[in-house]
Every structure is written in structure tokens, then in C-alpha cells.
A = this chain, B = another copy of it.
């Protein structure tokens, strides 16, 4: 993509109406635009990052047998009354044709449970797992944290259905492993901590995934031996590490990037959703749910990976793999390299602008934060100046070396 054509604009200063550093960075660098509190539009740069995050999540959900579906945002009042959640604080309520009461889905247990009920009848139909990656809505009273707490946000929810607790427990562990892979692929693994939370009536614990971050909203209590934590709510019941019994838990700030929960029969009971077992007896379906918000993950990445110059994207979610910057008067050499890179299938943003200064181009590249920076200038002759965002070392490399590095 040529930067002269890109639909974006960076701001000279951080926007004054944002509090979170991630929102300041993402708005200033031209990734997102605020339509109103908690509601953002994704510009081409931002949508590329979001789609890369969603694709990583999709692949890992498919790998644990999740089947992708798409459920509606518009939902009838009746299903929310069945589960006793129609009066939920953050539910957006509205009227449809014929004055019918509707909700905008903040989560989809109320639709997925009766949907699965039309498909699952027998133990032979189990287990099953389906997931959605789509827009959800919460009428947050305070939405001051950019993508970290949206009124409209992107969400992945996986729902699983089982014949018994043991089967759920096994699947739950598989999803835990899938989540670990996702954090690794997003570059968040070293700072994301499985956090014990209370489990409701069905299970002793549920789990949150918390990314350590000084500006995070949540407080967790970290066991530095096990690299797991206990959340604020649970710490009052339990003062020790649930894995090793360690009593020295360290208070930390964090952002919740995922949570997984053994629902048990909570929703299947609400909808009277049963299956017939091998002995032809009706049994309640056991459910699990597994949430992870791609837009919040994007906000988290920008919140934790930045410096005073801008964002530092992990390579897997960088909007482009490389940022090629021309500083020569004649754009031809850089254009040749650009065409070579494109031919090799390398995803590159090419700063071909004639009306921007060298300083402007370089500081904008730092702000945008694409992983690999390539500069073509008079002083480097035939070579290309290579630098990785967030590192100091600059190398002179040939076309061939660059292609080898980036392929």
C-alpha cells in the first residue's frame, strides 16, 4: 500500500479527550477514530490489526474443534427473561416493529443455548463447541478507556456442550492451552497471567487472563513462583496461591483480556435443555464459555507496547510487516524495492510521499509502529537502512538480505 493513498491522518498531538495511553496512541496514529464515548471506528490501519488478531483467534478456536457461527445482535426480550437477565444494568434495550421489546446482545448465552437445543438431542451429538467473532454491545455508564472498555466492541465467545463434568473439564483444559497459544502469537504470553476467580455455583474457580499493566483497571495478586494470580474478589476468600499455596502474593495492576467459565447447567436449566444418555435417560447439558475480545486485545497491545515515540506492534499483528520509507529525491529506487517486496508477497506500507519531510516521515513511522523499518536514502547508496521498531541497532542491508529477512 502506498502511504500517499492510505486513508489515514496522524495528529500532531495526543487527543485531549482520551485518558488511556492506548486510545491516545491509536487515535493519534490514525488507527481508530472516536465517534462517541466507548464507540470507535476502525480506519484501514486499525482494521488490519484487528483482522490479524481475529484471524489468530479463529485459527486457535478451529484447532480445538470450535465451529464458527454468527449470531444476531438484536434479541427478543423473552430469552433474556428466561435467564433473569433482562434487567441487567448494561443491557441496551430498544423497541422493534410492533413495539416489541428487544435487547442488543452483550453476550450470547441466551441465543446459543436454544440454538444448540435444536441441534443436540443425544449423547451421540456431544461434545460440541461453537464460537462467534462479532460485534457486541454494553451500555457502559463510564467508557473512558478507548478500546479497553467499549460500548460497542468486537468479541469472540466460544461455547461448549458436554455430557458430564469430566468431559467439560477436559475440554476446558484444551481451551486453556489454546488461550496460551493465542497470547504467545499476540506477543502477550510473558505478561499475561492465568488468574483464579470465583466459579459460581458449579465450579470452584473460573479463570481470567490478565495482562500485567501499570495502567490496568483490575487488581490481581500474583504468585511469582507459579506465574498465576488470584483476582480481587477471590483474594478475600483465599489468601494463598491456588497452585502452590505460596502466601506471598504481590499486588499488581492488570487488564483482563480473556475469561473462561464453567457454566455447568445454569443456561441449559433456564431453557430446559437436556440430552438423552446411553441408557435413554434425560440428563442436563453441561456448558462452558470462553471469552476473548479482539478489540480489547488490540487496545491492550497498544497500552503495553509503546514508547514516547509511538506504538511498538508485535510482528504478528503489525498492520504491515514492513514500512518502506523513501528519503531520496527520486522515488524510483524505493519504488523498485516496493515492487520487489510486493512480488515476494511481503505486506508493506510504502511512504512514497513527496510533500513530507524526512523528519516527518521517520517520526510518523515510529508513531505508527510497524515492526520492520526500511529506509532508502541518498547516504546509504545501494543499501537499505534496516531498523526494527523498539530496537536501537541500525543495519545496512542489500535488497536480497531484506527479502530473506522478511519472507
Contacts and interface: CB of A to CB of B under 8 A. Distances in A.
Interface stretch (A5-13, A204-212, A344-352, A387-395): A5-13
Interface string A261-278: 000000000000000000
Contact of A135 (B73, B75, B100): B73
Interface in A45-96: 46-47, 50, 65, 67-76, 92-94, 96
A7 B44 CA distance: 34
Contacts of A35: 71-72, 74-76, 111
Contact of A72 (B9, B46, B152): B152
A69 B40 CA distance: 11
- Say how many copies of this protein the assembly contains: 2
A381 interface: no
Nearest to A40: B72
A279 to B, nearest CB: 18
A107 interface: no
A283 interface: no
Interface in A1-43: 5-9, 33, 35-37, 39-43
A364 to B, nearest CB: 14
Given A130-B7, A141-B97, A39 B74 contact: yes
Interface residues of A, number: 55
Given A72-B152, A76-B35, A140-B97, A119 B8 contact: yes
A272 B71 CA distance: 38
Contact of A42 (B40, B65, B70, B142): B70
A115 interface: yes
A355 interface: yes
B44 A68 contact: yes
Contacts of A181: none
B9 A118 contact: yes
Contact of A68 (B47, B94, B152): B47
Contacts of A247: none
Given A74-B137, A104-B104, 16 more contacts: A6-B67, A7-B67, A7-B116, A33-B115, A35-B74, A35-B75, A35-B76, A36-B100, A41-B71, A41-B72, A41-B115, A44-B67, A72-B152, A94-B94, A97-B139, A97-B151
Interface of A: 5-9, 33, 35-37, 39-44, 46-47, 50, 65, 67-76, 92-94, 96-97, 100, 104, 111, 115-116, 118-119, 124, 128, 130, 134-135, 137, 139-143, 151-152, 355
13 contacts: A7-B67, A7-B116, A7-B119, A7-B130, A33-B118, A35-B72, A35-B111, A39-B75, A73-B73, A97-B141, A97-B142, A124-B355, A135-B135
